[in-house]
Chains A and B, each alone.
Chain A
Amino acid sequence: MQPYQEEYIANLREIAALAARKKTEGYTFESYQTELAKNRNRIAGKVERNMELLRAGLFPLLDHLPESGEEELQELQEFAGRLFQVGEELDVGLFCQIHQALLNCARLKKDQAGMIRELYWLGIGRNNRCSKLVGLDYSVVENYVFEMRLCFTEAGAYLKYFDEIEDSETRGYILRARANTALGQYASASGKIQRVRQTLQILQDRYYQEKEPGLPWERYIFMAHRQMASSISYSRENVMTAEDVEAVMESVYIVYQANMQEAAKRGERPPIHSAFNYYAISYYCGLDTMDGLLSKTEHLMDTTEISDFTSENMYGLISLPAFYLQYLKQFPERIPGRAEYIENLYRRILDYVEVFPDAPENEMLFLYLRQLANNYVETANSIPYGAFLLKLIMRFAPDIYIQSYIVAKAAAVFCDILMAEEPEFFDDIEQIREVQDLEEKRHEVRKYAMACGLLHDAGKINFINLYTQTGRQWFEEEYEMTRLHTIVGESCLRECASTCRYAAAALGHHSWYDGSRGYPAVYERLECRERQMVDVISLIDWLENVTDAQCLYTGVKMTFDAAVKTAVSLEGRRFSPLLTARLRDGQIVAQLEKAFAEGRREACRQLYEEDFLFNHPAK
């Protein structure tokens, strides 16, 4: 690799370490806060340096890629490979950019082997994007799925010329691409199962095997069976046909047997993942009851260890509970009898993620957490869903927590000012309107603003890597993807009784007041009863973003005064004129600026105490 490529990767690792929650060991709160500020500056420096490296080293190369030598292309591929590899996601955005450029170059040169290879890797990168959209409706994610699937489809189409393409590496890519066309969500479970079934037919066909005996056929077939077995997770919401159940059952059994034998050889306990699939398919085949499946799943979850950070244990501790909770959501009458179990489950999970080493680089951990966050079930004594989400954000994205807290604090202050002038300002919101006593009403509004502020960015939990570890400015497609945090946030929050009141703020805080711009399109301001609060969060969040939060990734940075002036100039378009009118008052602006500063300090204090309490529970 080129020195600039090595340096870029080293910087990424450093940024990930700096962005992780800082340990309090050896720090007073003041020195802790100073250290956090230093870290932020270091991150900013690294990001700037990375931009220089890309501008000076990579981008000129991508511009002239067709004229580059073989060695340069080789280095570029190696560089891309280091950016995203199994279990480690350093910079998938750049990985995709490089492979897209290599693909264009291969197309230009009519280099078929190059095209097939690059289509495959681009598909892999895009599949990673799809995995961030767990829990969203198919209609929202389908665009991302298509982009990924088309890459694999095109590469897989060369299967017809398997005979003519003699290079065995390319043949391997063709087969893997063909198999990967089944990745990601499908509109129906049957569609996915049928696709994997076709893949299995091809892989098991002796014709191909004999043509290229050197390929790891057994592994390919096993992977396809695993893919088929995992189809079970897509099928829970859909009714599987008898044919589908049979196909999945066969694959589950094969994977289960192979894993059992492998584990027995190594003297390890039976693998949780395939055991669960085995139990689940038994239920779908009518061989077990739902209670039976739930009990067996509990048993599997109970075998996990809080100090074991292997992927199998992580699956059992985080992902399996997500499936377990999903079943309970389908059969809510079974929740009361399991309430205590669920409450303990959440506590264990939070304890586990708290001590998880090198968490930021572990893509699988985040995938499992996304699954869990999307299937949360609240019980009377369980940690409330909002608090659970905030704990995760504090643990993995402390900066997002600080930003959310600042927005919450400043929004509460601003709402208080509005209420003092117009006590009925938020009366469109039923719960507020019902409160008669003025003081009590102001208190309710402050509380509501605080919660909306804290949770308005809950959807960022799906894109933690993008927000905390991107070592450069975002590419357009990344920026576009981060916009989905509004929909993700809304879809998470609306599911639980304790958080559904805050869903509107999550959905609408990037929408323009006049509806002419902003996102997402599904937010219709005039239809939203909470719109006055959404307007407040929207304004305060924007002020926070342009003065601090996202400047690293968007390149926009303003002083507080300039931001206020810009907000006023956007009156009636981006922001509610009822709110910007108040920004013309210097005193109110000063109050807000103070709230921003105090909010930061208080959020840091909370982070400090959270870590301190965890590490010193006796105190």
Chain B
Amino acid sequence: MENRESRENIDRFMEEQRKRIEELEQEKAALKEALIAAEEANKAKSRFLSNMSHDIRTPMNAIMGMTSIGLSHIDEKARVHDCLGKIQTAASHLMSLVNDVLDMSRIDSDRLTLNEEPFSLADLIHDISVIVRPQAAQKNQGLKIEIGRIEEENIIGDPLHLRQVLVNIIGNAVKYTQDGGEISVQFAQRYAKADPPEEKGAEDVAAAQETAGSMEARMVWLDFCCKDNGIGMSPEFLQKIFIPFERVHSEATSKIEGTGLGMSIVKNLVERMNGEILVESEEGAGSCFTVHLPMATAPQETTALHLPTGAAVLIAENRKERAGQMARYLREAGLVSVHQEKGAQAVTWLTQAQYEGHMPCAMLLGEELSDMQPLHLASHVRQLAGREFPILLVSEADWVQLEYRATRAGVNGFVPCPLFKSRLLGTLAELLGGMGSDDNSVKQELDYSDRRILLVEDIELNQEIAVELLSVTGVQVEVADDGAQAVKKFSDAPEGYYDLIFMDIHMPVMDGYEATRQIRSMERADAAAVWIVAMTADAFVEDVRQAKEAGMNEHISKPVEPGRLQEILYRQFSG
């Protein structure tokens, strides 16, 4: 009995001891883990301090050195000014270092919260442009910031942190691209339905729309891409790009300042915004960063723009893409654009428009013309068109730098680039002021559905293109395949049936000259009056003259520009 009791006691004791040993083992393991963690933390701290001491020392050296040079040349204002400029640069770099460290610390400790507030994408991109352009200009780099299709300009998100992400990526492109290199930045949007890269993000952000109080908000994806032809990255480094304190180390980058925290912060922020960031790079060839972010749309401003629908606007710009963008925005607002690439052409067109009494309601002046400085054109147009004529400068340049010269040259409005529709139309509407839609004297309808055109063209594809271009105005188009058919159609139709004829020149059966001659010789009131436009690739003076001699009123060359066609319709039907 006693034996049994004592065995039970021993067993209990043994059990307790085993438990104790287990507990001790666990404690030991926990302590070991804690030790490793402490050692890791210590190493990280040392690494951090080592990196930071170098990175802080560099700008501090500059600040101290420049201060001492400045003090020793205190009488030479220009020298002191130069030193202060350098001190300012170093100090702002130092500040950005401190900010990066604080951000990283907030992210690590989960103390970073993102705001959800409505903001304007146009303002955001403009701010980014103002920040990064001077950096690129200093290195003589070509920095293109382009806007693709933008569905919603007002969106909901954290503009401050979004700006930080984008400025960081573009800033890196500038840093790691050689002098004179090229950097291309693109922004675009698509509605969330259209193949988002990660479905999970859309739902999370959808909640944000309620936070912002919008019942009608929809989801859009903001696609951002920054591509450069800089030094690029090796495949090994590409694996570590988002790890804190990692930087490209090479001879080319030894003088480039930075903590190596930037990309890590960017990645964290993008992920917290439920987006994704992708990098492609090739050493020596350049890098491409792509960011996709889901965003809720904010309610659009409902203020109606008072624009004289159907009125013409002259675009003077050599850059085809930019001019195309302006034309598209104008078209969407019901305005007709006329595009000229050269200053001389713009002056010629305006002179003739003035003579014919169909002046455009404004001129959009781009930042590049193929034959002269835009401000010289502005100055001449101001004299030609008078004091009231609105001239809007559409430019990437900093308006503050440009304002004095531009206003002196006669520019009375400025639209910054990257170009947003809201800004362009808003500024235009503001300048046109009294020319709003209530003003009957200038109100022009682009709807020409009560007008009829005879299109004489033998090539089917050309017919299709022309009909397509003309049909946006609602005008009724009838087609004749050759000159003989055109003559017949015209003679069979009642008087005044056709308002305008577009006549090809080289056609089978009967050419355009003969057809025009026959139409003009008909004994009916509209035979002499109907406006006939030659549409041909023959553009020599002789061809123009021949067309006129045959009785045509004007001449346009093929391939036909849509703007030119619309301009003719506008002049004939509205002007």
B466 within 8 Å of A by Cβ? no
What's the minimum C-beta distance from B557 to chain A, rounded to whole angstroms? 15
How far apart are the CA atoms of A393 and B545 in the complex, in Å? Answer: 54
Q: Which of B364-418 contact A (CB under 8 A)?
A: 371-373, 376-377, 379-380, 383-384, 386
Q: A153-B348, A526-B78 are in contact. Are A161 and B376 (CB under 8 A)?
A: no
Provide the residues of chain B in CB contact with A181, threshold 8 Å: 344
Residue in A103, A191, A526 with the greatest tally of chain B CB atoms within 10 Å:
A526
Interface residues on A, range: 35 or more
Q: Are B373 and A142 in contact (CB under 8 A)?
A: yes
**Residue B77 contacts which of A146, A154, A573 (CB distance < 8 angstroms)?**
A573
Q: Are A154 and B79 in contact (CB under 8 A)?
A: no
Stretch from A199-207, A257-265, A335-343, A546-554 forming part of the interface with B = A199-207
Provide the residues of chain B in CB contact with A143, threshold 8 Å: 373, 376
What's the minimum C-beta distance from B376 to chain A, rounded to whole angstroms? 4
Q: Are A572 and B77 in contact (CB under 8 A)?
A: yes
Q: Are B373 and A577 in contact (CB under 8 A)?
A: no
A87 within 8 Å of B by Cβ? no
Q: A104-B383, A143-B376 are in contact. Are A202 and B541 (CB under 8 A)?
A: yes
Q: A142-B372, A146-B376, A147-B376 are in contact. Are A577 and B344 (CB under 8 A)?
A: no
Q: Are B347 and A150 in contact (CB under 8 A)?
A: yes
Q: Are B372 and A154 in contact (CB under 8 A)?
A: no
**Residue B75 contacts which of A151, A526, A572 (CB distance < 8 angstroms)?**
A572
Q: Are B351 and A154 in contact (CB under 8 A)?
A: yes
Q: Which of A93-109 contact B (CB under 8 A)?
A: 103-104, 107
Interface residues on B, range: 20 to 34
Provide the residues of chain B in CB contact with A202, threshold 8 Å: 541
Q: Are B542 and A205 in contact (CB under 8 A)?
A: yes
**Residue A153 contacts which of B76, B347, B545 (CB distance < 8 angstroms)?**
B347
Provide the residues of chain A in CB contact with B545, threshold 8 Å: 205, 207
Q: A112-B355, A157-B347, A157-B351 are in contact. Are A514 and B372 (CB under 8 A)?
A: no
A446 within 8 Å of B by Cβ? no
Provide the residues of chain B in CB contact with A578, threshold 8 Å: 75-76
A160 within 8 Å of B by Cβ? yes
How far apart are the CA atoms of A390 and B77 in the complex, in Å? Answer: 35
**Residue A577 contacts which of B75, B81, B343 (CB distance < 8 angstroms)?**
B75
A8 within 8 Å of B by Cβ? no
Q: Which of A28-47 contact B (CB under 8 A)?
A: none
Query: In the complex, which residue of chain A has the Cβ closest to the Cβ of B369?
Result: A146
Q: Hey, what's the 0/1 contact readout for A173-215 against B, CB within 8 Å counting as 1? A: 0000000010000010001000000100110010100000000
Q: Are B541 and A514 in contact (CB under 8 A)?
A: no
Provide the residues of chain A in CB contact with B384, threshold 8 Å: 107, 154
Q: Are B380 and A514 in contact (CB under 8 A)?
A: no
Q: Hey, what's the 0/1 contact readout for A295-312 against B, CB within 8 Å counting as 1? A: 000000000000000000
Q: Are B76 and A577 in contact (CB under 8 A)?
A: yes
Provide the residues of chain A in CB contact with B347, threshold 8 Å: 150, 153-154, 157
How far apart are the CA atoms of A158 and B76 in the complex, in Å? Answer: 58
Q: Which of B541-565 contact A (CB under 8 A)?
A: 541-542, 545, 548-549
Provide the residues of chain A in CB contact with B373, threshold 8 Å: 142-143, 146
Q: Hey, what's the 0/1 contact readout for B71-95 against A, CB within 8 Å counting as 1? A: 0000111110110000000000000
Provide the residues of chain B in CB contact with A576, threshold 8 Å: 76
What's the minimum C-beta distance from B143 to chain A, rounded to whole angstroms? 22
The B interface is mostly helix, strand or loop, or mixed, namely helix
Q: Are A577 and B77 in contact (CB under 8 A)?
A: yes
Provide the residues of chain A in CB contact with B380, threshold 8 Å: 147, 150-151, 154
Provide the residues of chain B in CB contact with A572, threshold 8 Å: 75-77
Residue in B384, B386, B545 with the greatest tally of chain A CB atoms within 10 Å:
B384
**Residue A150 contacts which of B76, B376, B541, B549 (CB distance < 8 angstroms)?**
B376
The A interface is mostly helix, strand or loop, or mixed, namely helix
How far apart are the CA atoms of A146 and B375 in the complex, in Å? Answer: 10
Provide the residues of chain A in CB contact with B77, threshold 8 Å: 513-514, 572-573, 577
Provide the residues of chain B in CB contact with A160, threshold 8 Å: 352, 355
What's the minimum C-beta distance from A567 to chain B, rounded to whole angstroms? 15
Q: A146-B343, A153-B344, A158-B355 are in contact. Are A201 and B540 (CB under 8 A)?
A: yes
Q: Are B377 and A161 in contact (CB under 8 A)?
A: no
Q: Hey, what's the 0/1 contact readout for B262-298 against A, CB within 8 Å counting as 1? A: 0000000000000000000000000000000000000
Q: Which of A129-171 contact B (CB under 8 A)?
A: 142-143, 146-147, 149-151, 153-154, 156-158, 160-161
Provide the residues of chain B in CB contact with A207, threshold 8 Å: 545, 548-549
Provide the residues of chain B in CB contact with A201, threshold 8 Å: 540-542
How far apart are the CA atoms of A157 and B376 in the complex, in Å? Answer: 18
Provide the residues of chain A in CB contact with B75, threshold 8 Å: 572, 577-578, 581
Provide the residues of chain B in CB contact with A151, threshold 8 Å: 380
Provide the residues of chain B in CB contact with A187, threshold 8 Å: 371
A515 within 8 Å of B by Cβ? yes
What's the minimum C-beta distance from A111 to chain B, rounded to whole angstroms? 13
Q: Are B348 and A526 in contact (CB under 8 A)?
A: no
A21 within 8 Å of B by Cβ? no
Q: Are A514 and B540 in contact (CB under 8 A)?
A: no
Q: Are A525 and B78 in contact (CB under 8 A)?
A: yes
How far apart are the CA atoms of A504 and B349 in the complex, in Å? Answer: 45
How far apart are the CA atoms of A198 and B384 in the complex, in Å? Answer: 25
Provide the residues of chain A in CB contact with B355, threshold 8 Å: 112, 158, 160-161
Provide the residues of chain B in CB contact with A157, threshold 8 Å: 347-349, 351-352
Q: Are B78 and A513 in contact (CB under 8 A)?
A: yes
Provide the residues of chain A in CB contact with B343, threshold 8 Å: 146, 150
Q: Are A526 and B79 in contact (CB under 8 A)?
A: yes
How far apart are the CA atoms of A581 and B76 in the complex, in Å? Answer: 12
How far apart are the CA atoms of A578 and B541 in the complex, in Å? Answer: 67
Q: Hey, what's the 0/1 contact readout for B350-362 against A, CB within 8 Å counting as 1? A: 0110010000000
Provide the residues of chain B in CB contact with A161, threshold 8 Å: 352, 355
Q: Which of A551-586 contact B (CB under 8 A)?
A: 572-573, 576-578, 581
Q: A154-B380, A158-B355 are in contact. Are A205 and B541 (CB under 8 A)?
A: yes
Provide the residues of chain B in CB contact with A104, threshold 8 Å: 383
Provide the residues of chain B in CB contact with A515, threshold 8 Å: 78, 81
Query: In the complex, which residue of chain A has the Cβ closest to the Cβ of B370?
Result: A187
How far apart are the CA atoms of A41 and B478 in the complex, in Å? Answer: 82
How far apart are the CA atoms of A202 and B545 in the complex, in Å? Answer: 10
Q: Which of A246-267 contact B (CB under 8 A)?
A: none
Q: 21 interchain pairs (CB within 8 A)?
A: A107-B383, A107-B386, A112-B355, A146-B376, A149-B372, A150-B343, A150-B344, A150-B372, A150-B376, A150-B377, A151-B380, A156-B348, A157-B348, A161-B352, A205-B545, A207-B545, A526-B79, A572-B76, A577-B76, A577-B77, A581-B75
Beyond the given pairs A107-B383, A187-B371, 5 more chain A to chain B contacts, judged by CB atoms under 8 angstroms and listed by A's residue number, are A142-B372, A143-B376, A157-B352, A158-B351, A572-B75
The 4 closest A-B pairs by CB, nearest first: A157-B351, A157-B348, A146-B376, A572-B77
